[in-house]
Amino acid sequence: MTDLGDAMTDLIVCTALGMEARAVARGLRPELGGDHPRIRVVRVGMGPDRAARAAALLPPAAALAVTGFGGAVHDGLRPGDVLVATEVRSGDRVWPCPSAPLLAGELLRAGLPARTGPLVTSPHVVTGRGRHALAREGACAVDMESAPLAEAAGARPFAAVRVIVDTPDAPLLNLATMGGAVAARRTLARIGPVLARWAAAAGPRRVLLASPRSFCAGVERAIEIVERALDRFGAPVYVRKQIVHNIHVVRDLERRGAVFVDDLAEVPEGAVTVFSAHGVAPAVREEAGRRGLRVVDATCPLVAKVHAEARRFAARGDLVVLIGHAGHEEVEGVLGEVPGAGVLVEDEAGVADAAQNVPWGRGVAYLTQTTLAADEAGRVAAAIRRRFPDAEGPRGDDICYATTNRQHAVRAVAAQADLVLVVGSANSSNALRLTEVAARQAPLARLIDDPGDIALDWLRGARTVGLTAGASTPGAMVDAVVAALGGLGPLEVEERRVTEENVEFTLPKEVRP
């Protein structure tokens, strides 16, 4: 046993072999002192029987981890890879490891080739055929100690992290594999500090769920359009740009047969093509017509309203000032409706620049990108009205109801949170605005795509976490974050609902039932 702390232990790290224990302890030594967690590294011996006997003698600890070498059963794992168990299996018993995505993400940021998946504990060494059988059952790797320790952990945070030293094609006694064990020991030393950060992040906490959150009606409609197009016309169905700005949605539709392209030139003539929820310029529609594409338009009806307003203002000779962000697909589509009659303004300073392009006597009208923060857009609109007192705005608020609702909801939790997590992709305008809104009230606000993006240091001392998601983010991603946080200790989840949403949009005729 290697004692790296005092009698009050925050984390026990178990290994089977002495060389594993020494490697982990070596990596942990720089982490000691100050307010770092108190850690003990314990050698439990090889095999489930020794591990079970050692587990019965372990002193109390806030968290328990097992690490060391492991054998791959999945073809995608190679010697030197690190597997973080999502669950530990033994016979017909399963012990979930909910915080695995947090650990794997931290290991990746530390430069280690980590992935997640099921780990099987076997009472004996598993060779070629046995490993292939485990792979068919969905396992990724095998060891001989994790299950008894997972059982001993009980309700405490538990993690199993294995460095792969052999595979079905490169058995343990192979000379090349033995040489890889040297590199594996170095990897174990690098795993130690990550386990220390994991232990420091553990503890009870409260999650405040902002509501509404996740998908809005326009996003649900756009995704359903692609799904129905695939069902009706068969794969491939081409989609110009990302149907919505979320990488998980895009990957899921790609697996089903959707092909995402940046330009219509990439689409075969006559192919079924979906326009994204953000809308397109008339020039894009004209090109699709020339190439005989079978178009299904998934433009959000609220974005289509902004297009119509732009055409109305331009038709009477006004300069159309669009408040938005350069490069966003919605902005490109709206300005494409009014060539030569539209100008983009991103902030209050940009209003003065726009004013230079307005000849005396010309009318000015303004519109807003639907996914902006309401207060941000309001300040720019006020600056436009100060500069052009007769400027006319849209007939109704351009900013999407879902954007506004989600911003109100995140404000309701941010003031009480130590940390706010906004789930959404970095190219999602509404998710970025949510993060900015949260950051004005919470000590720390961060945008994440999934649990793997959560830095463990953010969670240290964060006993109340606000959680929301952009309008293009699947609700399952929020559930995954809650589950991962639950793997760090007791979790109290409280929903803060500011309004109900019951908006529905009809589908285009091409994909209606």
Which residues are the active-site residues? 330
Contact present, 354 and 321 (Cβ < 8 Å): yes
Annotated binding site for dimethylallyl diphosphate: 245, 278, 328, 428-430, 472
User: What is the Cβ-side half-sphere exposure of residue 186, based on CA atoms within 13 angstroms?
Assistant: 8
Contact present, 78 and 190 (Cβ < 8 Å): no
* Residues 208, 497: Cα–Cα separation, whole Å: 10
Q: Which of 240, 367, 215 is nearest to 303 (CA)?
A: 367
Residue with token string 């000379």? 175
Contact present, 494 and 206 (Cβ < 8 Å): yes
Straight-line distance from the first to the last Cα atom of the chain, in angstroms, rounded to the nearest whole number: 67
User: What is the Cβ-side half-sphere exposure of residue 27, based on CA atoms within 13 angstroms?
Assistant: 23
In our burial notation (b when 16+ CB lie closer than 10 A, e otherwise), range 86-100 reads bbbbbeeeebebbbb
CA 200, 50, 27, 10: dihedral to nearest 10 degrees? Answer: 20
Annotated binding site for isopentenyl diphosphate: 245, 278, 328, 428-430, 472
Q: Which two tokens stand for residue 163?
A: 């460095």
Annotated binding site for [4Fe-4S] cluster: 216, 300, 400
Q: Which residues lie across from 468 on neighbouring strands?
A: 422
For residue 357, what is the DSSP state? T
Alpha helices (runs of H) in 295-347, residue ranges in sequence order: 301-315, 329-337
Contact present, 259 and 236 (Cβ < 8 Å): yes
Helix (H, G, I), strand (E, B) or coil at 205: strand
CA max distance for the chain = 89
Residue with token string 């999934």? 450
* Residues 117, 128: Cα–Cα separation, whole Å: 19
Annotated binding site: 216, 245, 278, 300, 328, 370, 400, 428-430, 472
For residue 461, what is the DSSP state? T
Q: Which two tokens stand for residue 118?
A: 């099921």
